[in-house]
Amino acid sequence: MNIEEEIHSTKFINNHQKVSVNLVYTSNWLNNLIKQELDKYNITNQQFNILRILRGQHPQPATINILKERMLDKMCDASRIVDRLVQKELVTRAVNRKDRRAVDIHITEKGLMLLNEIKLEVATENLKNNISDEEAQQLSSLLDKLRG
């Protein structure tokens, strides 16, 4: 379905405004698909993002600054998200031995096991069913170009 049908509006100032609206709408749509899967595991998109970053760092620790740099949502409070993951026993937090001002964050075995359970095929399959590999590459390139 096209964006006009989805939002019941055809009044766009120009195609640039239309693509802006479409990007926001599509981003929210994709986030909702992912959220539905993550809700089964009682974690948020941001928590999932941090767990994936930590898995990529594993067995090395990460700091809050590393997490902030790599997070998809730059507006998140990484410290508070880490606190919640500590409560769920998915990550650990410890003072760095060399620099007492720094805090090392590690993913736990429980966190690694959780990531192995989560399947986000719903979003990926939807993309595969609706656009070709070539179109996906083109779209990714256009999004990169947009961010300039």
Domain edges within the chain = 43-117
pLDDT in tens, 119-136: 888 778 888 999 999 999
User: Could you tell me how far CA 147 lies from the centroid of its own chain?
Assistant: 17
Read off φ and ψ for residue 77, nearest 5 degrees: -90, 95
Q: How far apart are CA 108 and CA 112, in angstroms?
A: 6
Percentage of the chain modeled with pLDDT above 90: 82
Look up the pTM and report it: 0.87
**pLDDT for residue 137 is more than 80:** yes
Phi-psi region of 105 (alpha: psi -120 to 50; beta: other; left: phi over 0): beta
State which CATH number among 1.10.760.10, 3.20.10.10, 2.30.30.20, 1.10.10.10 fits the domain covering 43-117.
1.10.10.10
Are 96 and 66 spatial neighbours (Cβ–Cβ below 8 Å)? no
